[in-house]
Amino acid sequence: MRDAYHEELDKISATLVNMAGLVDEAILRATKALLESDRELAERVIVADEVIDHIQHELDATTINLIARQQPVAGDLRTLVTSLRMSADLERMGDLADHIAKVTRMRYPTCAVPSELVHIISQMGTVASEIIRTTAVVISNRDTDGALQIEKDDDKMDQLHRELFIKLLEPGWPHGIETAIDVTLIGRYYERFSDHAVSVARRLYYLVTGEYANQQS
């Protein structure tokens, strides 16, 4: 019969998966609000980020308390320390969705994204959602193949980020400096969102295999 200690470890993993689900919802809503200039939806993303922050704080407190009470060693200690780091990455991903929503709110009723860039930002939003969904599966199942897939999906995001910058640097940009700054920040937020997912994937891969993921590439 599994003891209470291992049940607590399972709850920590489940909480991380729950956080990933909330982050997925946040990035989907933030992208929709951005592209449709939907201030009400953007406000919901901003409010929901406080929930993600609260979950992270509670999870970290639980994890630290468990370390103090049980004094785990070897694999269990690595699991708990890795959980702390992954929760920080997930919380930061929620913050980045929040930042996108705040751009929408700031520019309302104008859409912050020029029409000719909508398709790129839409693709970035789709890739971001795919990445965080894979991240949830990776955490839940300790899926090392999925962890490697996140690295590949991050390459898609990097390519979209480059395409966005090429558009911004084209001669005769007609939308002014303010819009250029907005689009630069938005692109950076999506790119960083993906980078944090890669960080989660690499931590999980190392936890399971004892090797760094880039050793397998």
Q: What's the CA angle centered on 115, arms 194 and 93, to 5 degrees?
A: 20
Q: Are 154 and 198 in contact (CB under 8 A)?
A: yes
Say if residue 135's pLDDT is above 90. yes
What count of other Cβ atoms lies within 10 Å of the Cβ of residue 69? 10
Count the domains in the chain.
1
Compute the distance between CA of residue 12 and CA of residue 14 in angstroms, rounded to an integer: 5
| Domain span including residue 77 | 4-215
- When mean pLDDT is compared across 3-17, 81-95, 124-138, 184-198, the lowest value belongs to 3-17
Residue 196 pLDDT class (50, 70, 90 cuts): very high
What SS3 class is residue 156? helix
Whether this prediction's pTM lies above 0.85 is answered by yes
**Per-residue DSSP letter, 170:** S
Residue 99 pLDDT class (50, 70, 90 cuts): very high
Say if residue 205's pLDDT is above 50. yes
Enumerate residues 6+ apart whose C-beta is below 8 A from 70. 5, 76
Mean per-residue pLDDT, 115-120: 96
In tens, the pLDDT along 153-185 reads 999 999 999 999 999 998 888 999 999 999 999
CA 163 distance to own-chain centroid: 21
Q: Residue 35 is which amino acid?
A: L
* The two three-digit tokens of residue 195, written as one number: 């980078």
CATH (domain of 16): 1.20.58.220
